[in-house]
């Protein structure tokens, strides 16, 4: 007895629901207001050209004294950090519509007293993934934070 009742109820619901859905679809277009003409949008302003990048913002860790220091290194000029000489050849920042990323091509050499300079790193470093291309050194760590532009005192940093 209970089975017949449930089967009848399911059959009734299965036939009524599609009819109700069709009725709602027919009523919706009548309820919508007519579209009002929109004024023409003003042309978008031309994108502001990005300020030229003048250098990189790095951070360096001296493992002996556990000191982290921010380093502002200009393009193609030698910057000292301990016994390291850092040369930034290029720094790039991703466009605003892309995920935030800053990367720099660095050449790092070490000049110990009484010895010749020895290259310890040459390549790209990425702010979002410092371990991807890391400098291997027993005393110092250096990583990219962002790029420095000419028109702002604040560096363009990766998140």
Find how far residue 153's CA is from the centre of its chain: 20
Query: What's the pLDDT tens digit per position in 69-123?
Result: 999 999 999 999 999 999 999 999 998 888 889 999 999 999 988 889 899 999 9
Whole-prediction pTM: 0.63
Q: Determine, yes or no, domain membership for 132.
A: yes
Flag whether 22 is in a domain: no
Per the structure, the complete domain to which residue 86 belongs is given by 53-157
- With b meaning 16 or more CB within 10 Å and e meaning fewer, what string describes 96-115? eeeeebbbbbbebbbeeeee
For residue 17, tell me if it sits in a domain: no
Residue 8 domain-assigned (yes or no): no
Closest CA to 77 of 91, 93, 63: 91
Q: What percent of the chain has pLDDT over 70?
A: 63
Residue 27 forms part of a structural domain:
no
Summary mean pLDDT of the chain: 78
- What SS3 state is found at 55? strand
Q: Count of domains in the chain?
A: 1
């Amino acid at each position: 007895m209970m089975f017949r009742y449930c089967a009848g109820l399911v059959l009734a619901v299965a036939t009524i629901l599609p009819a109700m859905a069709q009725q709602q679809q027919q009523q919706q277009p009548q309820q919508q207001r007519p579209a009002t003409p929109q004024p023409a949008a003003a042309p978008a302003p031309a994108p502001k050209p990005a300020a030229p990048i003048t250098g990189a913002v790095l951070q360096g860790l001296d493992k002996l004294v556990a000191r982290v220091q921010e380093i502002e290194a200009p393009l193609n000029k030698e910057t000292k950090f301990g016994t390291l000489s850092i040369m930034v050849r290029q720094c790039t920042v991703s466009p605003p519509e892309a995920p935030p990323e800053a990367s720099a091509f660095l050449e790092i050499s070490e000049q110990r007293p009484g010895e010749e300079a020895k290259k310890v790193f040459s390549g790209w470093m990425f702010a979002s993934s410092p371990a991807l291309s890391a400098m291997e050194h027993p005393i110092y760590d250096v990583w990219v934070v962002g790029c420095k532009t000419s028109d702002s005192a604040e560096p363009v940093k990766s998140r």
